[in-house]
Chain A
């Protein structure tokens, strides 16, 4: 197992190097002078320009610049945002919990509906439920989620007036973050109305972000389940006279869930890409909106480090999924 893990990590090293090269190259590939580009619309005075050039090391040979960049990143120095003058890592730490909370609830939404629906569709294969579920899943999979979000706002916020249009929590609530998760923090402070407010802000974005994963999980669960239901051991279990619920719930489901777990893990990239759109629509203060805003503010230090940090997160999650997969399925370890 340890060997498998080390092997996996070794394979990630080239990707890791590549990610840092991409982030490093980003600022240098921007059209025009990188310092002027990073300074944005305000521009810089000539003296300050030389100072910045020195500070960023743009007068050094390119490989030395890269070595310097890697050194900075390795020690946790991700630069300072040009627009807010705060360290990028600090901004990231305050914004990331918002994205994490949103993604978590989106995934819970997708799994709680997707897995049972997929199982049921597989068991009742060919029924009207199966057909309409697969049809709906394809619609969900084809959904432009930025539009879906707007539709939900029109209906639930505009027409019914049930949910707020944007933000994470009502403006009247303010407390010092403990975990950074509004739903948990409000409970820790024992404020029920704040918790309700946080939850009502969360519902629509979570549904929007969870829609594509829901469609993917439902389809994947169905096909994994169908495959397993045809296996010999399921027939044996049936022949032994076990109840249908036990055969499906224990014998079939356990094995069917292995590919589903992988699918769920692989949705992380989709979730982060979706978060860019979802957070923009709902003004959700997470890293997706942060990236888009920074692009428009031309705060390229943030874009550069955000790109790096997000890629590192995706990489880490994929590694965890790989390892978990090997833990559930011993056959993988040997390969």
Chain B
């Protein structure tokens, strides 16, 4: 890092550009990560353009076509490519709209968990002492419960629903961020550049946010990616148990819940929503692995 500062700077900001290039170089070595990124972009596009792509509205019921099998199976038609559910709704359309919910869940949960985790982790790692003890004891406590159980109990208190499920999951995932930030801050705090900034008269807030935080970003990005996929899984699990998004919301876990009683009669109502969850989570985890390889040499996968 210090090398680039000494070297004469060319016009523009080649620094950032070469940074991105090195990043892409390491990231693209990992074939899986590139595939994951590609799938993820497709998912984002599907979510954004769901109203254009979906052949039907997600809640429209065709009373003449209950449990219609997918197009390639006997009894299916190209009218409903992936078949229909027990009340005659097009599964493909519901899946496309469902992508919106899953991505929204991931984004909201990670944003909440990151904000909370960074704030608490910075405070704990920077001030140490009783602030640290108090914050980290609470984090330990949250981690003492199995995550899904704690989320279930929180949703019981808050009431079932998509938003409350997101809040509960964010709270459950948040300690991982706090621990990570705290550890990184403690490692960085005594480094020379921090001491230099302190001597130069930077205040607590500036030291925490502008000096130390940017240097803790790499592990946070990796953890954020993994939490994104975790959030989708947990929200789908809550939806499946009937405590997340409520029907008729086309959330994938909720779709699975209402399909459960038909599993032995209509395989497609169960298979496709689950496959959508798996593909999404897998794509994000692949990206996470790639990011880890590219951003953090210490964590690099052998």
Contacts and interface: CB of A to CB of B under 8 A. Distances in A.
19 contacts: A19-B145, A22-B141, A22-B145, A29-B157, A31-B159, A125-B302, A144-B233, A144-B253, A144-B274, A146-B236, A150-B263, A154-B271, A158-B263, A227-B302, A269-B147, A276-B146, A276-B241, A295-B243, A303-B153
Given A30-B157, A147-B273, 4 more contacts: A14-B140, A18-B137, A146-B253, A296-B242
Contact of B278 (A19, A143, A315): A143
A31 B157 contact: yes
Interface residues of A, number: 49
B157 A26 contact: yes
B143 to A, nearest CB: 8
A276 to B, nearest CB: 6
A269 B270 contact: no
Interface in B227-286: 229, 233, 236-237, 240-243, 253, 256, 260, 263-264, 267, 270-271, 273-275, 277-278, 281-282, 285-286
B195 interface: no
Contact residues of A: prevailing secondary structure: helix
Contact of B146 (A30, A135, A144, A310): A310
Interface string A298-331: 0010010001001100110000000000000000
A315 B267 contact: no
Given A135-B32, A141-B285, A223-B301, A277 B274 contact: no
Contacts of A226: 302
A144 B149 contact: no
Contacts of A151: 270-271, 274
A113 B3 CA distance: 48
A307 B256 contact: no
A139 B278 contact: yes
Contact of B144 (A26, A147, A314): A314
Interface string A1-39: 000000000000011001100100010011100000000
A153 B273 CA distance: 16
A242 interface: no
Contact of B260 (A22, A150, A311): A150
Contacts of B138: 18
Interface string B111-139: 00000000000000000000000000110
A274 B148 CA distance: 8
Contacts of A179: none
B156 A30 contact: yes
Contacts of A296: 242
B188 interface: no
A19 B141 contact: yes
Contact of B145 (A29, A138, A311): A311
B263 A292 contact: no
B147 to A, nearest CB: 6
Contact of A277 (B148, B260, B282, B289): B148
B146 A270 contact: yes
A280 B242 CA distance: 12
A142 B159 CA distance: 28
Given A142-B281, A144-B278, A154-B264, A14 B147 contact: no
Contact of A153 (B159, B253, B256, B263): B263
B251 to A, nearest CB: 12
B152 interface: yes
| In the complex, the 4 A-B pairs of residues with the closest C-beta atoms, listed nearest first | A147-B274, A18-B141, A273-B148, A273-B146
B152 A146 contact: no
Contacts of B137: 14-15, 18
Contacts of B274: 144, 147-148, 150-151
Nearest to A225: B302
Given A138-B289, A223-B302, A307 B271 contact: no
A263 to B, nearest CB: 16
A272 interface: yes
Contacts of A280: 241
A144 B141 contact: no
A272 B146 CA distance: 7
A30 B159 CA distance: 9
A291 interface: yes
